[in-house]
A and B are shown apart, each in its own frame.
Chain A
């Protein structure tokens, strides 16, 4: 059987550069004078205004890269932006604190390399852009297929969530004596691309994360008859709670 995988055209490097743009642009918009000093330009007169403009440009480019399924044009616009940055810094270098400006130029050059690389990479892609990626979450449950399917039918809340997301559910016999494999697959293409994905993650509506928790709990429930609780994680496995652990000591009040 051919293993189905599908990744987005907007790969890891593009995502990194997109977020980098937004980060840098936000800094330029919020603190133009400080950044002017950092690159060795004057922090009064026209320079801070130009800095703010460049910030606006960076944020727009970042948004474009993170939202388009195949952000080839937006990536090339970063390369053009780098050239503009270098020209502006070159003009600055003749006038003010040269060491700082030289350092800034080195930094721009350092990011120009991946910008050009990624732009060329995206340009080389043919055919329609692939938006969204196939997300697959699988779990093995040490029970017969009948038992697992029965348990799944009983897990109405989880089933409804999966159906609402248009996800497919497959049951298969695991090799050897390993029980049953449960596989949930869906195409993840949130509105506004990577920005939408970030919003979903922050608001806890990210289905991949939820499914990872849900399948773990479904396995616990099916194999052991309970959701495992510890003093540090009294509500059982929930990724969102992982960073908000209580101390591992008995609670003042019983949970649930």
Chain B
């Protein structure tokens, strides 16, 4: 089959690889009909997530048709149409039973590696380095889905792939980021990053009852997409001297009640702080360029919530712990517990509360995946989300 492979830093190629096989009885094989490139895939391509190996198949956002099941997958039949969540979760450990699916205690066969890095291991993830298990990803024609009796959600009606594909990751991720903000009605929520996750976080914050949502980015077309599709305000950070100052004045001097970091480890900015982090990151002295996170912390109102759904990999410099402690901020974060949100969000989509298709700007064949990565990484051709068609 054809698969999108990581071939070294800044190199993605579509290669011919063997077809996947069932390795465990709770596996299923899915013929992929749609798969997407995620912002976190760019961290892999840019070489900021360690433990990638040349030849790894990438991709963790995918859906398709079940073509084979192991004997331990009674819930799926050949021919079923499914969306596959990106965390691989066993469904039976304490974490899974408490809906902390991205913290599954069993699904990472490289647990010790992750333990050394993070203290405790996290769940396996498709196509996302060997730290998260070394599982082949879904930017391919077929994928093996472990614990297929737990993760995949069946799509029973004829709804388009693009309307449900993002249940695999970014829609639940954005939603969880908004849910962290404990919105009860009347809040102001600021969202750093108008990429796909930021768009869905902003949409979810609105859906959950935030009174105002302010989306921060530097790409006009992305801010425009947010304004046109969501009832939100936008802020181009390159037009202001200081984002925290600007937000303060936009919120009656209080600061946003909750701040969502949907940017993560490769933030951009102008000014000396950016240069400092850029150099340290390039020299591998820190893994993060945490400009958005620092801004989110400094901007948040006293006693507010900072919700971190942008991806971080290791260690950061100049973490403003003094602001967090003295101003009583709450930080909430995590890789999304996708399985927890798939059914309720599918319901929201079917009921028309949210139409996730507005973020799709490019639909291209799988064979052109390298071009898709170029478009997405360099924000060419007003690219916001690339869907690949095997």
Whether A228 contacts B146 in the complex (CB less than 8 A), given A251-B18, A252-B18, A254-B23, comes out as: yes
Stretch at the interface among B110-118, B261-269, B279-287: B110-118
A239 to B3, CA, bound (A): 28
A232 and B92 within 8 A (CB): no
B94 and A178 within 8 A (CB): yes
| Chain B residue nearest to A228 in the complex (CB) | B109
B24 and A229 within 8 A (CB): yes
| Chain B residue nearest to A232 in the complex (CB) | B134
B24 and A242 within 8 A (CB): no
A216 within 8 A of B: yes
A224 and B92 within 8 A (CB): yes
- A178: chain B residues at CB < 8 Å are 94
Identify B106's interface contact among A220, A233, A248, A254, CB under 8 A.
Answer: A220
B94 and A254 within 8 A (CB): no
A142 and B97 within 8 A (CB): yes
Interface flags for B283-325 (1: CB within 8 Å of A; 0: not) read 0000000000000000000000000000000000000000000
Interface flags for B83-94 (1: CB within 8 Å of A; 0: not) read 000000011111
**Nearest chain B CB to A131's CB is how many angstroms away?**
28
Identify A232's interface contact among B17, B53, B111, B144, CB under 8 A.
Answer: B53
A234 to B110, CA, bound (A): 11
A249 and B135 within 8 A (CB): no
A251 to B112, CA, bound (A): 23
**Nearest chain A CB to B285's CB is how many angstroms away?**
24
A212 to B116, CA, bound (A): 13
B136 within 8 A of A: yes
Identify A242's interface contact among B5, B19, B113, CB under 8 A.
Answer: B113
Identify A142's interface contact among B93, B109, B137, CB under 8 A.
Answer: B93
| Chain A residue nearest to B124 in the complex (CB) | A230
Interface flags for B325-345 (1: CB within 8 Å of A; 0: not) read 000000000000000000000
- B94: chain A residues at CB < 8 Å are 140, 142, 177-179
B56 and A247 within 8 A (CB): yes
**Nearest chain A CB to B41's CB is how many angstroms away?**
13
A246 within 8 A of B: yes
A224 to B21, CA, bound (A): 20
Please provide the chain B residues from 94 to 135 with a CB less than 8 Å away from any CB of chain A in the complex: 94, 97, 105-113, 124, 127, 130, 133-135
- A249: chain B residues at CB < 8 Å are 3, 5, 17-18, 55-57, 136
A255 and B133 within 8 A (CB): no
A254 and B124 within 8 A (CB): no
B248 within 8 A of A: no
A63 to B176, CA, bound (A): 56
B154 within 8 A of A: no
A248 and B110 within 8 A (CB): no
B54 and A230 within 8 A (CB): no
- A224: chain B residues at CB < 8 Å are 26, 90-93, 106, 147
A236 and B144 within 8 A (CB): no
B370 within 8 A of A: no
- B26: chain A residues at CB < 8 Å are 224-226
Whether A245 contacts B19 in the complex (CB less than 8 A), given A140-B94, A179-B94, A228-B108, comes out as: no
- A172: chain B residues at CB < 8 Å are none
B92 and A248 within 8 A (CB): no
B25 within 8 A of A: yes
A94 to B266, CA, bound (A): 56
**Nearest chain B CB to A75's CB is how many angstroms away?**
30
- A237: chain B residues at CB < 8 Å are 109-112
A57 within 8 A of B: no
B133 and A233 within 8 A (CB): yes
A223 within 8 A of B: yes
- A247: chain B residues at CB < 8 Å are 5, 53-56
**Nearest chain A CB to B73's CB is how many angstroms away?**
12
A219 to B105, CA, bound (A): 9
Interface flags for B143-164 (1: CB within 8 Å of A; 0: not) read 0101100000000000000000
B244 within 8 A of A: no
Query: Which of A178, A219, A232 has the most CB atoms of chain B within a 10 A radius of its CB?
Result: A232
- B106: chain A residues at CB < 8 Å are 219-220, 223-224, 228
A233 and B19 within 8 A (CB): no
- B137: chain A residues at CB < 8 Å are 248
A250 within 8 A of B: yes
- B146: chain A residues at CB < 8 Å are 228-230
B72 and A225 within 8 A (CB): yes
A216 to B112, CA, bound (A): 10
| Chain B residue nearest to A220 in the complex (CB) | B106
B134 and A230 within 8 A (CB): yes
Query: Which of B21, B53, B106 has the most CB atoms of chain A within a 10 A radius of its CB?
Result: B106
- A251: chain B residues at CB < 8 Å are 18, 21
Please provide the chain A residues from 186 to 215 with a CB less than 8 Å away from any CB of chain B in the complex: 212-213
A231 and B136 within 8 A (CB): yes
A231 and B134 within 8 A (CB): yes
- B54: chain A residues at CB < 8 Å are 247
**Nearest chain A CB to B251's CB is how many angstroms away?**
41
User: Which 3 pairs across A and B sit closest by C-beta, in order of nearness?
Assistant: A232-B134, A247-B55, A233-B109
Chain B interface residues toward A at CB < 8 A? 3, 5, 17-21, 23-26, 51, 53-57, 72, 90-94, 97, 105-113, 124, 127, 130, 133-137, 144, 146-147
Beyond A247-B54, A248-B56, A250-B18: 9 further Cβ-contacts under 8 Å? A142-B92, A226-B24, A228-B24, A228-B90, A228-B109, A232-B109, A236-B109, A245-B53, A249-B18
Q: List 26 A-B contacts (CB under 8 A).
A: A223-B90, A223-B92, A223-B93, A223-B105, A224-B147, A225-B72, A226-B25, A228-B106, A228-B124, A228-B133, A230-B133, A231-B20, A232-B110, A233-B110, A233-B130, A237-B112, A239-B112, A242-B112, A242-B113, A245-B51, A245-B110, A245-B134, A248-B55, A250-B18, A250-B20, A254-B23
